[in-house]
Amino acid sequence: MELASARLHKGQISWWGLLLTALLLTTWSPPTTAKMTIEAVPFDVAEGKYVLLRVVNLEPGIRAFHWFKDNAERENELARYILAEKSNRSGMAYSGRESLYSTGSMYIHNVNKDDERTYIIQIVLEDYAMKRMNTTFHVHIALQKPSITANNYSPIEGGDSVLICEPYTLHTNYRWIRNGKSLSEGDRLKLSEGNRTLTLLSITRNDTGPYECENRNIVTTNRSDPFSLNIAYGPDTPSIFPSDIYLLQGSNLSLSCRAASNPPAQYFWLFNETSKASSQELFILSVTTINSGIYTCFVNNSGTGLSRTIIKTITVLEAVTQPKVYAINTTVIEEESVTLTCYSNDTGILQIHWLFNNHTLQLTKRMTLSNKNSILTIDPTKREDSGEYLCEISNPVSSKRSNPVRVVIKSLRAFQSNGNAAIMIGFGLVAGVALIAALAYFLYSRKRKTGGGSDQRDLTEHKPSAFNHNLGPSDNSPNKVDDVSYTVLNFRDQQPKQPASACPPPRAKESLYSQVKKK
């Protein structure tokens, strides 16, 4: 009570004092001196530190000061100061830690909790009149650096964790800091026991910290050393690297399994449910098709007691063999059609694509792919379709290209200007002109003697081989360019093997080729 009023009094001086002074200045003549008081500086003292009991507005005409504690009894005198002698003397209660000054103030150093008492100054005036004033101060223990204890130093993800800031002291505030940020109660955070206990609810691997706790009273603030939780978690769903599921026969199988886990997980590999390895990596030298199957990675965390598995199906494939391109006609007149067939011995997951003059064939409206891309039909042809065609066949682990086939598209106009009336008939451009018809008939009958085409259509289809013969490029380059004759030969060779790639040969035209060959 006394302490409270002393503080209040001190506060009033500044506030009400000013107001009062202002009032006195305006309505009354001002007093010559302000009221003499005493105060403790600081009011809140840390144990072991000092305090100054200060006399404010010391009056003149003073003979001596006496300082007492508790009351002004002789046995409670701490010290006295005689102004005339400018000397001080210790009293019966002197502890050796008090010093007096000529200003009346007393200094106490190395303050302890027992010093928290009432201090009385007794002032002896010139006329031996006496004045007494008293004051006091608070002594607070200086807090020690705190430390953090936990109910579980290696908690498991999902559980709760309790951290306590030690030691417990009265009149102390506690504060928690995680990753440098002050914590307050939240979703998964509870504070209790005046913030001394921090409870982390359903912790995650991200709650590791570091944590610090701070204790604070009016005179000290201390922070603990950082503290981190070693949170056990996982294994999470494992992954297998690399992600390829197809392997080329003869290559090495090298699989690695990974799963987030603390402490680090143990790994095991199984192949078709037979144990293969107890390591994170699985290596098989030079695989064959017998290595195709289901690979299982089994992951176990001894810290959490949890385990997980993941499976991967691996298929070992042989490399594809070289495909071949067959064509009925590789030299045709503009507007006629060309059909190219890509043939392969291989089975399984195959992809076929076509190249034209060494670039991916850009399909135009006149081109169609059929039978899983194995048949390319250009209908009608144009002169710009002339060039080298080849097909590429691939499975997920390999690809091979056929030899190129040269396709020649002859200009219709050039053909007409040859004066070949048969062509004119063939295209229905000339009708009813007797002379030309006769010539046509003449030519037609000549052809029949050698070739034996049965109708008008045969005749026109027949023509290109004649050109082929004349131009002759394919005949002379067997390595680079497959020519028609070669193609036909191969075609007939392959026939009995019954290709599995579902590229049925164009049987309808078979007889015609034989005729061409014979010629």
Ligand X SMILES: *[C@@H]1O[C@H](CO)[C@@H](O)[C@H](O)[C@H]1NC(C)=O
Summarize as ranges the residues that interact with ligand X (CB under 6 A). Answer: 173, 184, 191, 194-195, 204-206, 251-252, 285
Name which of 231 and 407 has its Cβ closer to ligand X: 231
Residue with tokens 């992954």: 239
Both tokens assigned to 376: 């390319």
**144-151 — which CB contacts under 8 Å span 24+ positions?**
144/222, 145/222, 145/223, 145/224, 146/174, 146/213, 146/214, 146/215, 146/222, 146/223, 146/224, 147/224, 147/225, 148/211, 148/212, 148/213, 148/224, 148/225, 148/227, 150/227, 150/229
Instruction: Select 216 or 492, whichever has its Cβ closest to ligand X.
Output: 216
Which tokens hold the place of 217?
């009273």
Least distance to ligand X, CB of residue 483, Å: 38
- Report DSSP letters for 182-248, one per residue: E---BTTEEEETTTTEEEE-S--GGG---EEEEEE-SS-EEEPPPB----BB-----EEES---EEE
Beta carbon of residue 399, minimum distance to ligand X (angstroms, whole number): 17
- For ligand X, the closer of residues 1 and 285 by Cβ is 285
| CB closer to ligand X out of 206 and 454 | 206
In whole angstroms, how close is the CB of 168 to ligand X at the nearest point?
13
Q: Tell me how far, at minimum, the Cβ of 241 lies from ligand X, in Å.
A: 16
**What stretches of 47-171 adopt beta strand conformation (E)?**
51-56, 62-69, 77-82, 87-90, 98-100, 106-108, 118-125, 130-136, 138-140, 147-150, 161-166
What does the DSSP 8-state code read for residue 95? -
CA distances for 491 relative to 350, 355, 469, 513, angstroms: 21, 21, 19, 10
Instruction: Using the minimum distance from each CB to ligand X, give the nearer residue, 144 or 206.
Output: 206
**Least Å from the CB of residue 256 to ligand X:** 15
In the complex with ligand X, the residue whose CB is nearer, 63 or 216, is 216
Report the sign of the C-alpha dihedral through residues 471, 475, 481, 484, in that order. positive
Distance between first and last Cα of the chain = 134
* Smallest separation (angstroms) from ligand X to the CB of 292: 17
Longest dimension (CA), the chain: 168
Distance CA 8, CA 13 (A): 9
By beta-carbon proximity to ligand X, the closer residue of 151 and 254 is 254
CB of 285 to ligand X, least distance (A): 5
Distance CA 5, CA 14 (A): 15
CB of 386 to ligand X, least distance (A): 42
Q: Which is nearer to ligand X, 186 or 496 (CB)?
A: 186
Decide whether 71 or 221 has the Cβ nearer to ligand X: 221
Question: In angstroms, what is the minimal distance from the CB of 250 to ligand X?
Answer: 7
Residue type present at position 15:
W
